[in-house]
Every structure is written in structure tokens, then in C-alpha cells.
Structure 1
Amino acid sequence: MGFMIITSVDIYKYALPLTGPFSVGGQPLSQRQGYLIHLMSGQEIEGFGDVSPLPGLSEESLQEALDQLLALKRNLPHASIPAGIERLNGKLDDWFNDLALMPSVRFGVESALLHLIAQSKSVSLSKLLSSKASDSVRIHGLLSGSKEQVIQDTLNLIDQGFTAFKLKVGSDRIEEDIDKVRTLNAVLSGRALVHADANQAWDLNQALYFGREVGCASITYIEEPFADITQIPEFYDQTLIPVALDESLKTHKLDDLKSIDGLEMLILKPTLLGGIEKTWQILSQARRFGWGVGISSAFESGVGLITLAQLSAASHLKSSAGLDTLKWFKTDLLREKFPLEKGKVNTTRGVIRSADLDFNLLERII
């Protein structure tokens, strides 16, 4: 028997300008485009989800995502939501099995459904998923740019209460990346943790040079130093720097990774991996294998970030979350500022309502 009935589905388009052009997977971005899916059950219960495939990393295009959303707009009204889908134990997969939803669409639809259920129970999304969910999530500050910019941003974020940082590396000028790490550690003087992210930009020899020069005491781990995961043991053996995987998780099963020495961390982006339920299942499997896990943004709007923070709070993760991305947006869909304070996101509320959104930035798709 269905738990709730979906009475209406609306789709909205957004295009949010960024503070400056930057590149993702070799594709320049000057604005972040995506869609919101809005589900209603009755006159008052509602749920929103962010569907925003990331050019350069997502397998699907905006148009492909929209095509699936329009199909859902036709087919979901009057559908019964299966009871217990918030347990994330496979019922969502069973329900959507015949639809072959693309990763970003799956994330957005699941977000809207779970927010809908959470609102019906008068709880936050995090408390819906886990009664013992934390009330806040620690965020690591995202650092990139010149050495001077990195240091200035670090000092500002330290003043704001941040205690963890991710430094973007992977340029052709490895010496500059090494200098950034050394200078950053000198500025922090042990006040915060630092990890690096190379986005598969180097080959093994370049990564080894970087690792030997900065030393294993300077960073807690490095994300995706190179594309060939079979080289991780050699890198770890020669540098003692643990490795985290992010992009590689789209193409490699966890069972194929469990014997890789030096792999200690997984960075999970639900928009790229295929939704909340799949991310939850990967998280559970990663714990069995003894890996650390972090939840991270794929540059979603504030609507998506709220959901990711709620998921992280429900997951009881020790690692900081990668949600410090709204600073690259000139404006956001949320009327009120994203609840980030002193390096943490408050997750006690965590249900998005129409009144929370700036509909001047949204275009309803008929």
C-alpha cells in the first residue's frame, strides 16, 4: 500500500551566474544551470530537489536531464510513494527500476521525495534518515588560485571558524603547488587539517615528485592524484600519503578497490553517483572495508547543498564535507543565506519550502 500520493509535479529552470569563469573537466563555466523538481502531496506537503548535471563530469547533458524530468512530470502525478523508501534499502531502486534515471535526475527526484516525507513527519531530512543524526556538519574550506589568494582565503576562513581545508593542486607548475602546501602549513601552524585534490591532472612521476617534496606530514590525503588507480600502491609506498577517490568511483566498483593499498578515503558526490540511496549504500559498504567517507558537492545550488548537508548529518561521518561552493555563486535560489557558520552547517531544520526560494530566479517549465 502506498504511503503518500503525489498530487502534482512542477519543473523549474535556473541559471545562476558565477563570480568568475572556472573550468570543470576541461569545460569552462560562467554560470550554473539546472532544474528544480517540485513535488506536492495534497495542498501543503511539498518537496524540492536539485537536478544539475555538471558539464565536464556528468554523463548526461542538461537537455537529457530535462527530457527525463518532463517524463516524470507526466507520469508521477497520482502515483503512490512506496512505504519505507526513507530506509534507503533498495525500495527506491525497485520503484525507479524501469525508468533508467540519469544520476543527476535520480538525485533530484530522490531529494524531493525524501523532503516530502520528512515534511509530512515534521522532521528534518537528516532525522528522517537517522534518528541520531547530528545537528551540524563540519565543512572544509575550498582553496584555489594563486599562493597569495590561497593564503588570504585561508586567513579569512580561519577567522570564520573553519578547521579543515581542501587545496586544489594539479597544475603543470608543480613547484608552485608544492610552495602553496608549504606556505599554507606554515600559516596554519597546526590549527587546521589540509588535504589536496589534483583531479587526475598528473601522471605517477609528477605525483611522486609532489608527494616527496611536501611530505606525508603536510597533508592528510590527496584526492585523485592520477587516473590509473593501479598505481596507488606505488605512490603510497614511496610517499606514505593516503589517497582518496572521487571521479574514479563512477567507473570502478568498490569490490575492485578493496585490495588497493594506500586507498583510505572515498569522496561521494550523489549528483554524479546516481542519487541518495546509491550513495547511502556505497557509504555502508565503504565502512565495511574500513575506508573514510566524505560527502561532497558537484556545485549544486543551495537547494542541493541543503540536501547534501542533511545526508552528511545522517551518515555520522568523521570527515568534513565538501560543501564550500556557494562562494563561487553571485546569487542563489535560497532567500536566506545558506546556514554555514563557524565552519559548520546547521542541519536542525533541513526541509525546503516554497517560501524559502526566490522564484524570481526560477522559470517554470510548462
Structure 2
Amino acid sequence: MVYGGENLYGTKKTDGTWSGMIGMLIKEEADISMAALAYTPSRGQVVDYSTPLLVQYSTILGKLGQPELDPWSFHLPLEPYVWLSILITLLFVPVVMVLLSLISRVSLTHILTRHDIWQRRVVLATWMIVAFVLVRSYASNLMSVLAVRYVQQPYQSLRNVLDDAGVTMIWQINSSRVEYFRSVKSGIFREVAEREKAGRIKFQFLHEFWGSMDTFLRKGDHVLVAVEIMTRFLISHDFTKRGQCDFYTGKERLLPVFLSGVGQKGSPIVSQLNKRIISMQESGLYDLWIEKSIPNSTSCSQTPSRITKSSSLSLPHLWGVMVVLVSSQGAGLLLLVWEVKCPPPTPS
């Protein structure tokens, strides 16, 4: 049984020989390796794989952002159709008044004041009731919305990573996933290969991932692409060390692989090993071993993307509202200037 003297699972070199555990098995320096190796066609030609121990996907591991208030959250208390109806009303009323002023050749001020006093009172009272109900309903919901902070988790998929030119990916050196994206001719993984040519990918051994959590990932400009069990180990290790969840895994699952033990080509040991693996899986023993080997494995499994926090508001929190306010006031000012500079002709 071997672990891999070169700290590699096994990669085919340019001269046709193999490194790592695969190389040791080919040279008959060992009989079997129970380290979970991903299956690849090239490896399958030189060694025999056992029944898969587990099936794993690759996931994206990234740094959680700081809780932030969405400056545009003021629109959330009302449905889009309500906002649309308010906007249409605000635009429709002044347009109608201006058109009436132009058609009748009477000033806008005269149109607003020439109606009967009781009619004006009824219109004013109706508008005040509607505005009061709308404002009270909006304000009560808005206070709840402004207490919500959004925890940034920007890299949920490989496409999110590729669209950000400032982020660097970390992959396991000479892994089956690296072998795959280097071989494809088109698609999203071809873009990953092009990112490697641009120098935006770092390759590391598994044991280097632990240090990368602090040196690279914690800065927020790096992400790690690794199998799920590895990302669980890393997150649980960091949580055990710091007592808080600082990292998250993306929702997208990439590149499924079968992880198995391997033996020499044609070795009868592999067939006997398969029986033990099947028995172990049916009893749930292997899954139990995995759970026991990962302390605090579920502590950060459901990292919230939103939290509620009570704090005083400041101008940076409300700059979205200020943009709308300044824009509306500016539009009203322009309309007033237009009315003063271009009054309608008085009737003769």
C-alpha cells in the first residue's frame, strides 16, 4: 500500500512514464493504493480501479463578503406594478396640465386655480388620503427592509468567476480536472484553459490549500476549485480555528469524478477489494468515517446570504434614495424654468 512518494497521485510525463502513486504501481513498488484517485482513461490503461468509494463534484470556494445594505432596497416594499402606476400618474398629470395650457392658451397657474373651491377641496382631500395610506404602508415595510444586510457571495458558478477578470483561480496541480480542461477544444472549460495562459490560475498540491486560505482566499481576489470533500475539510478546519464562517461554496457543481482505490494491472487483489468496499458502503460505514473525520462539518453548510442588523442609517446607506430625490427635484426645476421662460400666449 502506498501514499505517493512524489506527493502526486500520478501524472503521465512527456517521456511516457508515470509519477506518483500510479508510477509506483506500474513499477511494482506497491500492490494497491487506497487513496481515492479520480478515474481518467489514461490511468485506466495502466492500472485497475476498484469499485468507486464515492462520487465527487468540484465546487468553487470563495471568501464571504462583509454584510452590506443594498442602497436600492427602497424599491422592495412595493410591487413593480405599484411603482409603475405611481410613475405613470406622476408623469401623466403634469403632461395633461401642460397640454391643456397649450390648447386653451391659458397659463398653467390659471388652470390650477380657476375651478370651483369645493371641487379643489375634494380633489385635494382625495389625493391626501391616497398619499397618506401609501406613505404609511411604504414606510412601515421600508424600516424592515433597511434592517437587512446582504452578505456577498459573488462566485456561485464558473461563469461568475470567468466574467471577473480580477479574480485568480487555484486548482490542484496535475489533477484529472486540470487534465480535462487542458484537453477540451471548446466550451466554458476552454475559457478556463485560456485563463491559465493569461496567468490567472495557480496550481498547488493538496497540502498547500490550507495555507492558501489565509494567504490568497481571505483577500477575496482568489477562489479555489476543488472536490466537495476537500472544500468541506477546508471550511470546517477554518471554522474550528476561528469560530466563524468566513468562506462559502458556490451552488454550481462541476466535473463529476469517481474516486476509487487502484491496484496493479490484472492484480487479483482488486477484485477482493471490491467485495469489501461494497460491504462497507452498504453498511454506511464509509460515509460515517467521512463525517467523523470532518469536525464541525455542518457548521457552515447553510451560510446565510442575508442577515438582520439594527443600526443607525447614514448617507452612504441611502444614496440610492438621494439619487432618485435629486433627479426628481431636478426634473421639477427644469419644468418650472420651462414654464417661466416659455409661457403660453395670453388670449387676446
| TM beyond 0.5 | no
Which has the larger helix fraction? Answer: 2
Whose Rg is larger? 2
Which has the larger strand fraction? Answer: 1
Which protein has greater RCO, CA pairs closer than 8 Å, 6+ apart?
2
TM normalised by structure 2 equals: 0.24
TM normalised by structure 1 equals: 0.23
